[in-house]
Amino acid sequence: MSEILDLVGIFVFALTGALMGVRKRLDVVGMVVLAEMTALGGGVVRDLILNVRPTAFQSLGYVLVPVAATVIVFFWHPHVARVMPLILVLDAAGLGLFCAVGTEKALEYGLAPLHAALLGVVTGIGGGMLRDVLAGEIPTLLYDRQLYAVPALLGSGVMAALSAYGLHGWPATLAAAMLAFGLRIMAMRFKWRAPLARGSGE
């Protein structure tokens, strides 16, 4: 079940990467690269920091799912763009899931709660950062005007806190993921923004 949820999250993240490729007028190779980086980048960075073989290289599905997402966007991107609100909701769910699972995996490998939470954030937003850098955009982490990194930090922090109090397994993961998901959805719904420096203007 966890692998299925992983693949769903990877598929949604890959859609956003491929759509970025369309907006940047990249060819199909560039779209695949952005899709793969967006979908797998955070998990690969996490696993490399943990000094373990990246999960993405242990299952063919992890590599093929972003390719499938790219094919869909390549041929039907106007239709995909029309359901962007749904994709953003699924993206928020993937963000919550990945930051919670990433934190849990880091804790299993012996990291302190704070470091595990930070690595959970990397898992959730790392792929998007790589996508933005490759596409020439300001990474979301550095310009969190749509509260993307903040929900990831909340979910990761809650996951680490629950673990510190002896709460593990899917209930803790679900709780942390839902909190991150809920904050992200609320931010989109009410247009919450992180503040700018005083006097810098909009």
Number of separate domains in the chain: 1
Is the pLDDT assigned to residue 50 strictly greater than 70?
yes
Domain that holds residue 12: 2-190
pLDDT confidence band for 135 (50 / 70 / 90): very high
Residue 114 lies in a domain: yes
Residue 126 lies in a domain: yes
Residue 72 lies in a domain: yes
User: What confidence score (pLDDT) does residue 202 get?
Assistant: 57
Query: Which range (12-26, 96-110, 184-198) has the least confidence?
Result: 184-198
Instruction: Report residue 172 as tokens.
Output: 């803790």
User: What confidence score (pLDDT) does residue 55 get?
Assistant: 86
As a whole number, mean pLDDT of residues 75-91 equals 90
CA distance 5 to 82: 24
As a whole number, mean pLDDT of residues 60-71 equals 95
CA distance 89 to 185: 7
CA distance 188 to 91: 12
User: What confidence score (pLDDT) does residue 100 get?
Assistant: 94
Distances (CA, A) of 124 to 76, 82, 98, 201, 202: 27, 25, 5, 29, 27
pTM of the predicted structure, to 2 decimals: 0.90
Residue 180 lies in a domain: yes
Residue 70 lies in a domain: yes
Over residues 165-189, the pLDDT tens digits come to: 988 888 999 999 999 999 999 998 9
Share of the chain above pLDDT 90, in %: 70
Over residues 7-33, the pLDDT tens digits come to: 888 999 999 999 999 999 999 999 999
